Amino acid sequence: MANNRRRVVKGIIAAASLGTFIYGYYGTVDKILRPSVTIYGPDKIDGPEVRYVYSSCLGCNVRCGIRVRIINVNGVQIVERIEGNPYHVYNRAVLPEKQIKRYNPLPYSFSARESLKYTGTLCARGQDGIHYLYDPYRVVKPLKRAGPRGSGRWKTISWEQLIDEIVNGGVIEETGERLPGIRELFTYGVLRDARFEDPNNILSRMKEDVNQILSNSSHLTFDELRKKIEEFKSKWEAELNTKGLTLSDILIDPDRPDLGTKANQIVFVRGRGQGHSDDFSQRWVAAIGSINWLRHTSSCQLGYYAGNRIWAGYTDINPDVRGAKVLIMAGAQIGRLHPGATGQGLIIERAAEGELKVYYVNPVAPRGDCNGNFIWVPIKPGTDAALAMAMVRWIIENGRYNKIFLESPNEESAKKKGEIVYTNATWLVITEDGHPRGGTFLRASDIGKGEKNQYVVVYNGELVPYDTVDEAELFYAGKVKLSTGEEVEVKTALQILKDEAFSRSIEEWCEICGVPVETVVRMAFDFTNAGRAASTYIHRGVGMQPNGEYSVWAYRTLDLLIGNYHRRGGLMARADTTNYNGALYNTGPSNFGEPVKWGPPIDRHGVAYEDTLEYWVRLKRDGNAYPAKRPWYPLTPEESYTEIFAGIDEGYPYPVKALFMYYANPVLAANFGIKFIKVLRDTEKLPLFVAITTTINETFLYADYIIPDTTYLETGTLGIQYLYASSAGVRYAEAWRVPVVPPMTMKIGEDPNGYPRYSSLWEFLIDLAKKLGTPGYGERSIPGVKETRYEGKWFPLHSIWDYIMRVYANGAVDAVKKGLIPEQVPVDDVKFVEENYWIARFKDIVPSEWPWIAYAMARGGVFTSYDESYDENGVVKRKPKRTLLEFWDEKLAMTRNSVTGQRFYGGPKYFPPATYAPIEAKTTEKWLQGTPLREIWPEDRYPFLVIMPGSPLYTKHRSQFYYWMKQIMPRNYAVLHPRDAARLGVDTGDIVKIETPNGYVETPVLVEPTTAPGIITIPVGMGRWADTAISKPEYFEIREKELKELIEAIPEKTEIPEDAVNPLKVLPEISKKTLFTKSNKEFYESSLAIDEWRFNGITLNVIASSDPSLKDWPLLSWVGASQVYFYTPAKVTKTGEKEKITFTNMIW
């Protein structure tokens, strides 16, 4: 019996063990029989299926060159690798025999095919354009919302239906809403359809009448003014009635004719536009007849632009970093500011080689120390002018300024000394307090010594017209009797600067900005000890503050004091470019028969309140026209997000009917951009909202229609890119962007030449214009340029190819004229382009210019060498933008604050950051209009300031798909100085609550001494919640009730047809696996699965500063209307929770 039982037990054990083995080992057997691994090597480098294309990068706005390697994988063209362009002045060439001191690009004449042996350097984001192109969240088909605005529900519609509904209006079937079309806003078309032969004749005469009223309104009484307006209305009512139209069909508001035609109610806003998507969209807005072509510049660098335009008459000025010996790099990020992470490599290498010393004035530590030649100067945000004034004082006290340069009062005297620019340092300014002429320059006619247009200077103690002497007193203050008998105080412009600088001791200035005195003295000494090869290299940290323009100007006085403008190592504007819009074909945004237009833009930039009818009517009626409903910004050169949306919200200066937005994300890009959602959701204030984009972001979540756009590696932002200051200090430089692979968006048809058309910004604007019948589109669209062989001829515009090939033709022909491209182009270069470039198939559009176009395309642009760009005494061979550089600006001194009606101070000066207008308590300081922010949010309640600096790893908020960077830095955090962390009792990994006046953000902390004490640094680039897929944000909460609800109303997920997204289906399996190894399959295979990397981290913008004096819209700078990013008061409290930040992720 026992035997039997033993055999049963044995049987059970045998079966059990065999079963376990099979169950446990099956996986391995399967892996042996059906291996799931695939061997792959590095990409092919040459061979029939490999091709190379030179183009320009858009990883950020710097426009470096790229060389893209495309491999044909069974019929599909796959971008395998992106390298730098060795011809481009930013990338600079690297040769096996020349790897050290990589300062020079290849000579421009170098053979294209040979250049493949060498490469240019290129930053990480440039390399990772591949994840930009192959983004599973990309939209590929036109969409229309299938639910209330912001519901996240979409349905695909045909291209024809899209165009038709936007022009003629459409219905949202799911909600029954009726969306208005833009046909009746196209005033030119309304006139034409009413059979007026020449609509522009009507419009130009009407515009003439409006100008008449405006120019006379200053000396009319209120009744006379009202009568004038009535006359205008009845005159035009009559003429329009002859064809059955009324004045309200044409004008926005017949009682305010200066607001312009109804076309202005169509607003086009572009975010990250670049060469030729800008010119083309500007041309389209002109064709519609609207004044509102607006950019994102306030969220980019408008304070820096506005500040420069005041003293130099040009927006973009920065140093030649190739020739400089000393740089004061203030408020500028390593690896971000032009020339960008790639171009700045030159700065780092020169510093490490001991050729350059950089003072890095920034609350955030520099990256690397370049043998001690990169000196960190931590500073309190918003106090840069104090630092500048301390240096100005030291320079004047020690007489280390360029006396000879400053003494020339006019251009001729400067030229005699070999100078190319001059300053108004010696001109006398009326500084009498309260005098109506206060702030203006004394004129020779004021003292009976000359004409009205002659400024006055002091020569041997005597007041003389400025153009009668070769040098004049630099410092002078005294009284002068005017011909009117009044006695007024006058000072030279430099004297005013001196008085401002000497108004505090150097110690007091240092107290304000937190920089030690000896550092300031050393900086000032080094700055003035490098001849003219020293300059200030400044950007957003300085300009994007309430006092931004004044701070920019304060720094730039240092450059004026040593006279480095337009010289090797000194300040420069942008490189000259070819005449790419007007050499042969007029591809520019004007005179192609576009409608006449007038009126202020919705964000009231570049227009003075005092030049509007509203101002004169209120002045004449009530005796005072202030405050205006929203501020006007006459001195800012470009647009502001805050005032676009505040304008739409308050219908001021007029209501908006249709908003077209392209490649932008104001809700996330602006400080406290969350407030814009209030406008975007409101179908009354914003009846039609159309978005042209690659993905549906936090702003486009509220669009009515989505038009899929292409990336820069397809046809996105195609064309010729000028380079920003100083454009590597060369004479000519422009990068050409050509399509690298055919677009991955939906094909919408072919143009009459049979060329393919794909859904993108270009084709959308063309088809919209053709549907409306605007001038400049269809058969007779692009005029030939006068005095060229195409004068009088007209060319068709049916697809992007008709336009862009003619742009290249302009560039190429002009480059030949300028001797940059040889008459006889080497045949091999043309063959190189025809073999490698997809765009070569459209060469028949411009056959005669094609060889030169190919020459430039084969090199990724037109470039000149650094050494040939200077004359013998180191002056750059460019034409200076304006030869007068200012220590005092009369126009600024005459400009008034739209709320207080007071004049602005007309010179460089330190102001504490403050609101635009005063809040209850009057301001403490003379010339300061608003209330200091630290009085509203004092240090004891908000002890910290929070800033969000850029880095070479992320480009603002549009870089969350760069997985080669995400694997290095998956999320961001708040960086806290160890002293602050100790006081708060927090350590790395603790989760804290950062509370600002507008709400709070919860984030883990990284405790490091790389941020100044009292300053919390949040590296930029994350905190997204909508990018076609949606992942509701939990890391922040807004204080204001209505906005809080809007955030809660963000839908849980997107409902979108699967075939409308994800162009990745073409990719071979290996590419998907290597590009998205860490992501789950659904993310890149099919539907919109959430990939954690796309939505993690935080952004400060959601709770950044707003202006309590202007109904809490995002805070702007007073003069330039630039978003204030770097002054967000906050307090920090511990939450007690923790999140592990491992060592390898403490990289930012």
Residues of this chain, 1025-1084, that bind other proteins according to CB under 8 A: 1070-1071, 1073-1079
The span from the CA of 331 to the CA of 325, in Å, is 19
Asked if 964 is part of the footprint of other proteins (rule: CB under 8 A), the reply reads yes
Binding-site size for other proteins (CB under 8 A) equals 98
Angle formed by the axes of helices 517-527 and 506-513, to 10°? Answer: 110
**Residue number, 4 or 1077, with CB nearest to other proteins:** 1077
For β-strands 534-538 and 326-330, DSSP reports them as parallel
Which segment (98-106, 238-246, 386-394, 1099-1107) binds other proteins by CB under 8 A? 98-106
Candidate residues 112, 247, 830, 953; the one interacting with other proteins per rule CB under 8 A: 953
Phi, psi at residue 373, to the nearest 5°?
-95, 5
Q: Give the nearest distance from C-beta 983 to other proteins in angstroms.
A: 17
Q: Give the nearest distance from C-beta 375 to other proteins in angstroms.
A: 9
Q: Give the nearest distance from C-beta 875 to other proteins in angstroms.
A: 28
Angle formed by the axes of helices 506-513 and 384-397, to 10°? Answer: 160
**Residue number, 181 or 363, with CB nearest to other proteins:** 363
Asked if 1085 is part of the footprint of other proteins (rule: CB under 8 A), the reply reads no
Asked if 82 is part of the footprint of other proteins (rule: CB under 8 A), the reply reads yes
**Residue number, 16 or 1049, with CB nearest to other proteins:** 16
The span from the CA of 138 to the CA of 219, in Å, is 58
Residues 6+ apart with CB under 8 A from 972: 1003, 1018, 1019, 1020, 1021, 1022, 1023, 1097, 1098, 1148
Q: Give the nearest distance from C-beta 370 to other proteins in angstroms.
A: 6
Q: Give the nearest distance from C-beta 330 to other proteins in angstroms.
A: 17
Candidate residues 62, 225, 288, 334; the one interacting with other proteins per rule CB under 8 A: 334
CA of 720: how far to CAs of 284, 573, 707, 736, in Å?
Answer: 18, 18, 24, 5
Using CA of residue 807, residue 813, residue 816, residue 821, what is the dihedral sign?
positive
Which segment (8-16, 157-165, 403-411, 442-450) binds other proteins by CB under 8 A? 8-16
The span from the CA of 1101 to the CA of 1023, in Å, is 9
What is the residue type of 964? Answer: W
Asked if 635 contacts 604 with a C-beta cutoff of 8 angstroms, the reply is no
Q: Which residues pair with 697 in a beta bridge?
A: 1027
Q: Which is nearest to 423 in space by CA: 403, 439, 452, 446?
A: 403
Which segment (138-146, 463-471, 670-678, 1138-1146) binds other proteins by CB under 8 A? 1138-1146
CA of 161: how far to CAs of 157, 165, 168, 340, 658, in Å?
Answer: 6, 6, 10, 42, 18
**Residue number, 376 or 585, with CB nearest to other proteins:** 376
Candidate residues 58, 182, 302, 370; the one interacting with other proteins per rule CB under 8 A: 370
Residues 46 to 75 in contact with other proteins, rule: CB under 8 A:
46
Asked if 1142 is part of the footprint of other proteins (rule: CB under 8 A), the reply reads yes
CA of 690: how far to CAs of 121, 702, 957, 994, 1004, in Å?
Answer: 39, 9, 21, 35, 37
Q: Give the nearest distance from C-beta 1052 to other proteins in angstroms.
A: 27
Q: Residue 896: which H helix or E strand, with range?
A: none
The span from the CA of 328 to the CA of 1104, in Å, is 28
Asked if 77 is part of the footprint of other proteins (rule: CB under 8 A), the reply reads no
Which segment (32-40, 252-260, 320-328, 941-949) binds other proteins by CB under 8 A? 32-40
The span from the CA of 558 to the CA of 524, in Å, is 9
Residue 234 CB burial class (10 angstroms; 0-12, 13-18, ≥19): exposed
Which segment (15-23, 454-462, 535-543, 884-892) binds other proteins by CB under 8 A? 15-23
Residues 130 to 189 in contact with other proteins, rule: CB under 8 A:
130
Q: 509: which 2 tokens?
A: 């200035």
**Residue number, 343 or 589, with CB nearest to other proteins:** 343
Asked if 76 is part of the footprint of other proteins (rule: CB under 8 A), the reply reads no
Asked if 128 is part of the footprint of other proteins (rule: CB under 8 A), the reply reads yes
Which segment (115-123, 185-193, 657-665, 672-680) binds other proteins by CB under 8 A? 115-123
**Residue number, 98 or 882, with CB nearest to other proteins:** 98
Asked if 1135 is part of the footprint of other proteins (rule: CB under 8 A), the reply reads no
Which segment (82-90, 607-615, 703-711, 1038-1046) binds other proteins by CB under 8 A? 82-90
The span from the CA of 747 to the CA of 453, in Å, is 60
The span from the CA of 379 to the CA of 364, in Å, is 9
Alpha helices per DSSP H over 956-1075: 963-966, 978-984, 1041-1048, 1069-1075
- The CA dihedral of 1045, 1047, 1048, 1052, to the nearest 10 degrees, is 150
The span from the CA of 238 to the CA of 244, in Å, is 10
Q: Give the nearest distance from C-beta 876 to other proteins in angstroms.
A: 23
**Residue number, 127 or 495, with CB nearest to other proteins:** 127
The span from the CA of 1074 to the CA of 886, in Å, is 56
Omega within 30 of 0 (cis) for the link into 653: yes
Asked if 39 is part of the footprint of other proteins (rule: CB under 8 A), the reply reads yes
Asked if 952 is part of the footprint of other proteins (rule: CB under 8 A), the reply reads yes
Asked if 376 is part of the footprint of other proteins (rule: CB under 8 A), the reply reads yes
Question: Within 10 A of 23 (CB to CB), how many other CB atoms are there?
Answer: 9
Q: Give the nearest distance from C-beta 494 to other proteins in angstroms.
A: 37
Asked if 4 is part of the footprint of other proteins (rule: CB under 8 A), the reply reads no
Candidate residues 1, 3, 5, 41; the one interacting with other proteins per rule CB under 8 A: 41
Using CA of residue 413, residue 417, residue 419, residue 424, what is the dihedral sign?
negative
Candidate residues 105, 189, 273, 335; the one interacting with other proteins per rule CB under 8 A: 335
Asked if 522 is part of the footprint of other proteins (rule: CB under 8 A), the reply reads no
Candidate residues 62, 123, 668, 1104; the one interacting with other proteins per rule CB under 8 A: 123
| Displacement of CA 249 from its chain's centroid (Å) | 36
Question: What are the start-end ranges of the E strands in 221-285?
Answer: 266-270
Question: For the chain, how many residues are written?
Answer: 1148
Q: Give the nearest distance from C-beta 4 to other proteins in angstroms.
A: 14
Which segment (77-85, 176-184, 627-635, 881-889) binds other proteins by CB under 8 A? 77-85
Asked if 502 is part of the footprint of other proteins (rule: CB under 8 A), the reply reads no
Rg of the chain (C-alpha set)? 31
Q: Give the nearest distance from C-beta 128 to other proteins in angstroms.
A: 5
Asked if 10 is part of the footprint of other proteins (rule: CB under 8 A), the reply reads yes
Q: Within 13 Å and on the Cβ side, how many CA atoms surround 48?
A: 2
Candidate residues 1009, 1045, 1057, 1135; the one interacting with other proteins per rule CB under 8 A: 1009
Asked if 664 is part of the footprint of other proteins (rule: CB under 8 A), the reply reads no
Asked if 990 is part of the footprint of other proteins (rule: CB under 8 A), the reply reads no
Q: Give the nearest distance from C-beta 1020 to other proteins in angstroms.
A: 15
Asked if 121 is part of the footprint of other proteins (rule: CB under 8 A), the reply reads yes
Q: Give the nearest distance from C-beta 521 to other proteins in angstroms.
A: 20
Q: Give the nearest distance from C-beta 854 to other proteins in angstroms.
A: 25
Q: Give the nearest distance from C-beta 1090 to other proteins in angstroms.
A: 17
Asked if 647 is part of the footprint of other proteins (rule: CB under 8 A), the reply reads no
Asked if 368 is part of the footprint of other proteins (rule: CB under 8 A), the reply reads yes
Reduced 3-state DSSP string for 714-747: CCCCCEEEECCCCHHHCCEEEEEECCCCCCCCCE
Residues 338 to 357 in contact with other proteins, rule: CB under 8 A:
341-346, 348-349, 352
**Residue number, 193 or 1008, with CB nearest to other proteins:** 1008
Residues 556 to 615 in contact with other proteins, rule: CB under 8 A:
none
